[in-house]
Structure 1
Amino acid sequence: MSYLAHSVKSVPTGFSRVLHLNWPIILLLSAIASVGFLMLYSVAGGSMTPWAEPQMKRFALGLFVMFSVAMIPVWFLRNIAGLAYLISVGLLVAVEFVGATGMGAQRWIDLGFMRLQPSELMKITLIMFLAAYYDWLPVKKVSHPFWVILPLILIVIPVYLVLRQPDLGTALLLVFGGGGLMFIAGVSWLYFATVIGAGVGLVTAVFQSRGTDWQLLKDYQYRRIDTFLDPASDPLGAGYHITQSKIALGSGGWTGRGYMQGTQSRLNFLPEKHTDFIFTTLAEEFGFVGGLSLLGLYVLVLIFCIASALSNKDRFASLMTMGIALTFFLFFAVNMSMVMGLAPVVGVPLPLVSYGGSAMLVLLLAFGLVQSAHVHRPR
């Protein structure tokens, strides 16, 4: 009781909360976003429009959201985690009926001033709810079969709704993010071994179902798999994206061609150069050194998040911070693997660098949760 009382007294209040923010993370996020502004200016041919200027405005709004969320007590976030999850599920259901369609997928809700992608919000609210669940659940019950079922259901529901859009990349991120948090919370590795075995069976079923009445994936998703396995089989069709991406990556060499000198992006050989494939533009212009430097900034963000989580005595706050760090890692790891040909093309943006509104705002909201956990941790 005395420890709790001391902890409550130690939590900063008023303006002092600003001083207790995790400022290294804020500076690193700003540095990463600045790289994005420079690259969007470059791919637009040396113009602030149509991408760099709107991205700057969104980042400014995102910073305001992050600072605002950081001021919210972590106990309040724990109490609304379930409601936030239900709202995200409701928005995913709404996409089925009133969702806006783009590039063959129905993933957005048009709000007038912006298009909201509920699946981006779900990545964060799922982490919040699972962290609240494992904070409530006694540690000795974490691996009991009965108490493993509920978090699995919490993961499967949004995964099913996202797959219907269809959005395989986001569905996989939800699976890995939710499953990763379960592992961090202490769920026995035997469950994960079982899931991996089932995953191998599912992959086999996916390939066996191709061309049948019970085909499990869309035709374009199978083409992405074919392209991943053999890009040269269709260099002007389904393999065009990854082929041009590899050319851009290779032509950058060690130090790159120079800022705004990338031929693949400036001559429009590289598709989606301002969104999913923006990392290849950076690698072409700044080379291996530039790509590794950006990766270093991402890794530093992870290190500060993990350090904050490990030093936090509040189980919910610690699990939430680790879950958001894991989700952030999956974002840039999958995107970089994708554009280098190490993973299938699944449409995952490069965090804070790729052009996009929903992804940036939700990610900065997520780091607002990390900041709240850091500011209000027991001292």
Structure 2
Amino acid sequence: MSYLAYQFKDVPVGFRKLLFLNWPVVFLITAVSGFGFLMLYSVAGGSMNPWVTPQVQRFGLGLAVMVSMAMVPIWFWRNMAVVGYLVALILLVAVDIVGVERNGSQRWLDLRFMDFQPSEMMKITLIMLLAAYYDWLPLSKVSKPVWILVPLLFIAAPAYLVLSQPDLGTTILLVSGGGAIMFLAGVHWAYFATVIGAVIGLVTAVFQSRGTGWQVLKDYQYRRIDTFIDPTQDPLGAGYHITQAKIALGSGGWTGRGYMQGTQSRLNFLPEKHTDFIFTTLAEEFGFLGAFGLLILYALIIIFCVQSAVTNKDRFASLITMGVAVTFFLFFSVNMAMVMGLAPVVGVPLPLVSYGGSAMLVLMVAFGLVQSAHVHKPR
């Protein structure tokens, strides 16, 4: 690519920068989104409305935003990290005051032309802020306790606001993504081992306390855990969603029932078939091979992002690229684990495939940062 850029050195800078784009990532993102358009068309019963048309429009807008952001020097995004984080934090507070409530959760702001979910924005601005913080902080201070408290506060503030919405899935992603940035920045592993040990101890205490005088959770909360472990205990109640998802996953077999032939989705047995549970529709219609193909595309996106990060000599650019890659991995791994019954149903969409304006646009902004880091890395 550098050779091509040299050959076109007389071309205006803006056009020449296009040669430095991480084009494999662009093509892979488009391919995954194409999967999404096909599945949304299927779950709509062979119609472009109500989901495919707006999703295509959002992807087109997101693609334009991604390329535009790639043309902007990475130092600009470093300088905007604090501003972006504060704006996202203010919007999260606004959600608590004037947010739109749906299904018992207050997570959205009504922008008239679309409902915007500030917690999606926070996933990216938190990564930006932590990357900028560790770019500024000398390596000798990274593992000092006093300097660890600052990023913990950066993570804790939005995590508390999102958890109170309530949105457990996004809270997990915020904490995990922030922790990943701290680990990649060089924070000593002993801190993470301590946290993991504390979590294991807490979970053990929760289970051991059941039926005792110091029981930690309420009885109904333990029943929810029982239903998660064995959905057949309440197949028509709390276990209904995951039971139907497993039926769809299993009935797909190796090659699937065929495009638009999935009975679970077409007969409306699947819940949220166009958002959280869209992966089960894909697995039912295209089988193991189709689901594995999507996984390969996801894996390739991460591989190209990691390759770009490890070859980038700019610390902020490298950290933000790795941060986006980790967050992207958490997106699809949590969603797939959720619909397969390996994790609780926490409402995490499948990236670039599930229907949703905020998730699509914010993810394209994240890849815009990755592209900016790649285009402007020292060569």
TM norm structure 1? 0.93
* Aligned equivalents of 2:185, 2:362: Cα separation in 1: 24
CA distance in 2, matches of 1:319, 1:285: 38
In 2: Cα distance, 1:173 partner to 1:353 partner: 18
Report the 3-state secondary structure (helix = DSSP H, G, I; strand = E; otherwise coil) of the residue aligned with 1:108. Answer: strand
Q: Tell me if 1:308 matches 2:287.
A: no
Residue of structure 1 equivalent to 2:125: 125
Match of 2:181 in 1: 181
Aligned match of 1:230: 230
Matched, 1:54 2:54: yes
Aligned to 2:328: 328
Cα pair distance change 1:230/1:63, threshold 3 Å: same
Distance between the aligned counterparts of 2:232 and 2:78, measured in 1? Answer: 50
SS at match of 2:101: strand
Per-residue deviation, 1:222: 6.4
**Offset at residue 197 of structure 1 (A):** 1.9
Q: Does 1:105 align with 2:119?
A: no
Q: Kindly report structure 1 stretches of 4+ aligned residues shifted beyond 4 Å.
A: 204-211, 214-224
Residue in structure 2 matched with residue 65 of structure 1 by the alignment: 65
Label 1:276 to 1:361 Cα distance change in 2 as closer, same or farther (>3 A): same
Cα distance in 2, alignment partners of residues 227 and 60 from structure 1: 41
Map 1:153-232 onto structure 2 (within 5 A): 153-204=153-204, 225-232=225-232
Instruction: Give the corresponding residue for 1:6.
Output: none
How much has 1:221 moved relative to structure 2? 7.3
Determine if contact 1:223/1:238 at 8 Å carries over to the other structure.
no
The amino acid across from 2:88 in the alignment is: S
Question: In 2, Cα distance between the equivalents of 1:297 and 1:281?
Answer: 18
Aligned to 2:14, the other structure's residue is in SS state coil
Three-state SS of the structure 2 residue aligned to 1:143 is: coil
Partners of 2:139 and 2:108 lie apart in 1 by 38
Deviation at 1:262, TM superposition (A): 0.4
Alpha-carbon distance in structure 2 between the residues aligned to 1:219 and 1:57: 47
Distance 1:219 1:45 in 2: 41
Take 2:315 and 2:216, find their aligned partners in 1: how far apart are those partners?
A: 39
> Root-mean-square deviation (CA), in Å?
2.2
**CA distance in 1: counterparts of 2:81 and 2:221, whole angstroms:** 33
| Distance of 1:157 and 1:229 partners within structure 2 | 31
What per-residue deviation string (whole Å, max 9, x for no partner) do you get for residues 273-307 of structure 1? 11000000000000000000000000000000000
Q: Where do residues 5-16 of structure 1 align in structure 2 (5 Å cutoff)?
A: 13-16=13-16
Match for 1:375: what amino acid? V
Deviation of the 1:209 alpha carbon = 9.1
CA distance in 2, matches of 1:227, 1:162: 25
Q: Report the Cα distance in structure 1 between the residues aligned to 2:220 and 2:154, rounded to whole angstroms.
A: 28
Correspondences of 1:263-342 after superposition (within 5 Å)? 263-342=263-342
Instruction: Name the CA distance, whole Å, in 2 between partners of 1:378 and 1:29.
Output: 25
Number of matched residues?
Answer: 368
Distance 1:322 1:216 in 2: 37
Aligned to 2:83: 83
Q: Is 1:256 paired with 2:231?
A: no
Give the Cα separation in 2 of the matches to 1:373 and 1:262.
41
Q: 1:202 deviation in Å?
A: 3.8
Q: Counterpart in 2 of 1:373?
A: 373
- 1:3 corresponds in structure 2 to none
CA deviation profile, 1:213-262 (whole Å, cap 9, x unmatched): x9998999766533321111110011000000000000000000000000
- Take 1:351 and 1:178, find their aligned partners in 2: how far apart are those partners? 19
The one-letter code matched in structure 2 to 1:179 is: G
1:113-152 map, 5 Å: 113-152=113-152
Q: Secondary structure at the match of 1:261?
A: coil
- Residue number in structure 2 paired with 1:4: none
Q: Which residue of 2 aligns with 1:243?
A: 243
Change (3 A) 1:115 1:222: farther
The CA distance in 2 between the partners of 1:220 and 1:308, in whole Å, is 48
Q: Which amino acid in the other structure matches residue 43 of structure 1? A: V
Asked whether the 8 Å contact 1:107–1:165 carries over to 2, the reply is yes
State TM-score, norm by structure 2: 0.93
The CA deviation at 1:149 is 0.8
User: Which whole-Å CA distance do the structure 2 matches of 1:217 and 1:74 have between them?
Assistant: 47
For the Cα contact (< 8 Å) 1:232–1:239, is it kept in 2? Answer: yes
Identical-residue share of aligned pairs (%): 74
Q: Is the 8 A contact 1:99 1:106 kept in 2?
A: yes
What's the secondary structure of 1:15's corresponding residue?
helix
User: How far apart, CA to CA, are the structure 2 residues paired with 1:236 and 1:187?
Assistant: 46
Deviations 1:48-72 (CA, angstroms, capped at 9, x unpaired): 1111111111111111111111111
Letter in 2 for 1:259: Y
What letter is aligned with 1:186? Answer: G
